[in-house]
Amino acid sequence: MLEFGTAQAAPGEISTGMLNAGETRHGAAFGLPVAVVNGIDEGPTLYIQAGSDGDELNGLAVVRSVMQQINPGEMAGQVLVVGILNYHGFQRAEHRNPLDDTKLNRAFPGDPAGSSSERLAHLVYTQGVQHADLAIDLHQGGTKRMINEVRVRCGPAHPLHDKCLELARVFGTAYILDEKGPDGQLARAAPDDGIPLIDPELGGTVGWDDASIEVGVQGVLNVLAHYGFTHGEPTYPTKQVRATGFEEVYASRGGLIDLAVDLGDRVETGDRLFAVTDVFGTVKEVVEAPTRGIVWRMRRLPMVATGEQVMKIGTGVEFL
């Protein structure tokens, strides 16, 4: 019997339940929604989580769709799923955990005697992640616009780097950011424990974005097929783009933005990126690319003040 919280599944079964996470302010018990898929045949274990950032909802839609498509009677191995990690942020559609104003993805591997975020991180880390052979932490670029990409965060010198990179390629969004992440990221903690993990960033939107969700669903199905959980063939691009860093581009003048590029565009140093106009359309500033790269992420709102970021260019670009 495979157990995760109150979810229990015998071989060939799927089950959903709750993982006890303590109590809310009025003293009621609360839990994280969890699911287990127990394949009919022996195999590896995959951990998937969504909702680490409470306003990043595409991953939740991916989990919801994948769980309706998966058939444990025709599957090997096991899948452990946390549908919503940042319980308190999700209730308010906020990025951070409002109880301690912390980003969950800076709290791993967590602390059982620590803050709300540290305890939630510790809970899923010890109950889920550490039982897995590989893991997926579903994110998106917050509510800003972003391409669909996958992040490898352990850094190129890490012994698990190549395994994480393979997982990223198989997930197959065609764009990979391969740059060591900050301390406390699950994508740092899990590889340190010998577990390859990727952080897919499924676009960036308010609410749900169907196109990015579709990319995420296909990504999870690719991973299940490639690593022998299912019998299907993964369908990921053979040629993918890897970036190893970002160059942030700011406005110096305040006003309204006229974009000259779109997400995913390749730019050379000196290419026009955007203009800033006054309220009536007179151009105040033209901003050019400070480096060659790929337009990776963009501001959503059209108005900008001096010193506000307008876009990020992915740099160190090469084809894998």
The residues binding Zn ion (CB under 5 A) are 53, 56, 139
CB of 106 to Zn ion, least distance (A): 11
CB of 208 to Zn ion, least distance (A): 15
Bridge partners (DSSP) of residue 13 are 38
Query: Is the sign of the CA dihedral 138, 142, 144, 150 positive or negative?
Result: negative
CB-wise, 109 or 141, nearer to Zn ion? 141
CB-wise, 139 or 297, nearer to Zn ion? 139
Alpha carbon of 224 to those of 44, 76, 171, 200, 292: distances in Å? 10, 9, 9, 15, 35
CB-wise, 53 or 209, nearer to Zn ion? 53
CB of 10 to Zn ion, least distance (A): 34
CB-wise, 15 or 105, nearer to Zn ion? 105
User: Which long-range contacts link 207-215 to residues 24+ away (Cβ below 8 Å)?
Assistant: 207/57, 208/57, 208/58, 208/61, 209/58, 209/140, 212/58, 212/140, 212/148, 213/58, 213/61, 213/62, 213/65, 215/148, 215/173
CB of 138 to Zn ion, least distance (A): 9
Measured at CB, which residue is nearest to Zn ion? 139
CB-wise, 88 or 139, nearer to Zn ion? 139
CB of 53 to Zn ion, least distance (A): 4
